[in-house]
Amino acid sequence: MVRSILKKYNIKGGTFDQHFLIDIGYLDRIVAAAELSPQDTVLEIGAGIGNLTERLARRAKKVIAVELDPSLVSVLHDRFDKVENIEVMAGDALNVDFPGFDKVVSNLPYSISSEITFKLLRHKFKLGILMYQYEFAARMVSPPGRKDYSRLTVDTYYFADASIIMKVPKGAFQPAPEVDSAVVKLVPRPSPFEVRDEAFFLEFVVAVFSQRRKKLRNSILNTNSMLKIPDIKEVVNQLPEDFMNKRAENLTPEELASVANMLFDLKSDKPWLK
Ligand code: SAM
């Protein structure tokens, strides 16, 4: 069925991360995982030839299908212009303003995984079912202290509960990618820990993971052009020794937040900054 659509429109794929999910079993499992109701508006990023789109539209109130490649946008218009609950949105998902949506379900273009995930996490939605390269998915859910533990892990954990719900082999796609894939379930929720200032915390996480092999003391000192804390050497000496002597990769999100909070408080107490 999916193969016949590729054949009909003479779509070969390969460019723009085009690896089409042709295995009906996985398509059905992804749609089932989204637990769609007739009230749900679904955002799909990288709709391709519409194989997932049509299945989502059968169960949801509306599907907003974003696609970058003009030749695939034409396919989507040809297939769905008469389908009332599918809206095709041509453009780069990194640049378009997403309209409101309840759920995001996508077989993502892997080359924009980081940027699109950071963008999505800053939107309000109920559930995400997202296909990534397996290694990327592993970084989203890594425990502290592992090589996969990163800015992405902490950012994801701050905004949502994330879990890998299925691995997907290369053979499920046409053309087959060079890597295995995994589907991640994202359930946005309030942060499990308190941050004094969200923007400062998120910037702190970027800063310290940009120097992940350095002890926290040095990574803070080296990245103060981002953090902009006056008298940084003096400030760092006031922070707990045991945290300062560890690397960012060995601190839990909660511990990183507590350091960011202390830094923010020290920064805010400076009367000349107010
Ligand atoms: N949804 C289809 C499926 O499951 O078979 C296609 C998925 S394919 C992995 C990724 C899709 O994202 C391709 O159709 C590609 O053209 C599209 N794409 C790539 N970069 C994009 C971007 N920046 N914004 C929107 N779509 C993009």
pLDDT tens sequence across 140-179:
999 999 999 999 999 999 999 999 999 999 999 999 999 9
Q: How far, in Å, from the CA of 95 to the mean position of ligand 1?
A: 14
Please give the pLDDT value at position 272.
46
State pTM to two decimals.
0.95
Take residue 36 and report the two structure tokens written for it.
Answer: 């769609």
Q: What is the pLDDT of residues 118-128, one digit of tens each?
A: 999 999 999 99
Q: How far is the CA of 159 from the centre of ligand 1 (A)?
A: 24
Q: Is the CB of 94 under 6 A from ligand 1?
A: yes
Domain ranges (residues) in the chain:
2-188, 198-267
Q: What is the pLDDT of residue 14?
A: 77
Which of these CATH numbers, 1.10.8.100, 1.10.10.10, 3.40.50.970, 1.10.3720.10, describes 198-267?
1.10.8.100
Helix-strand-coil split of the chain, %, nearest 5: 45, 20, 35
Q: What is the mean pLDDT of the chain?
A: 95
Calculate mean pLDDT across residues 44-70.
Answer: 98
Instruction: Please state the separation of Cα 19 from the chain's center in Å.
Output: 19
**Cβ of 19 less than 6 Å from ligand 1:** yes
Q: Measure the CA–CA gap between 201 and 217, rounded to whole angstroms.
A: 16
What pLDDT does residue 269 have?
72
Q: Which ligand 1 atom is at minimum distance from the Cα of 109?
A: 10
3-state helix/strand/coil string of 19-32: CEECCHHHHHHHHH
198-205 CB contacts, 8 Å cutoff, 24+ apart: 200/227, 200/260, 200/263, 200/264, 200/267, 201/158, 201/256, 201/257, 201/260, 201/261, 201/264, 202/155, 202/158, 203/227, 204/256, 204/259, 204/260, 204/263, 205/151, 205/154, 205/155, 205/248, 205/256, 205/260
The CA 190 to ligand 1 mean position distance, Å, reads 30
Percentage, residues of the chain above pLDDT 70: 98
Report CA(44)–ligand 1 centroid distance (Å).
9
Average pLDDT value for residue range 53-74:
98
pLDDT at 19: 96
How confident is the model at residue 49, as a pLDDT?
97
What fold characterizes domain 2-188? Rossmann fold (3.40.50)
Helix and strand totals (H; E) in the chain: 13, 9
Does residue 202's CB lie within 6 angstroms of at least one atom of ligand 1? no
To the nearest 10 degrees (0 to 180), the angle between helices 70-80 and 51-59 is 40
Q: What pLDDT is stored for residue 273 in this prediction?
A: 46
Kindly report which listed range (46-50, 182-186, 233-237) carries the lowest average pLDDT score: 233-237
Residue 274 has pLDDT above 80, yes or no: no
The model's confidence at residue 270, banded by pLDDT at 50, 70 and 90, is low
Contact 5, 20 (CB under 8 A): no
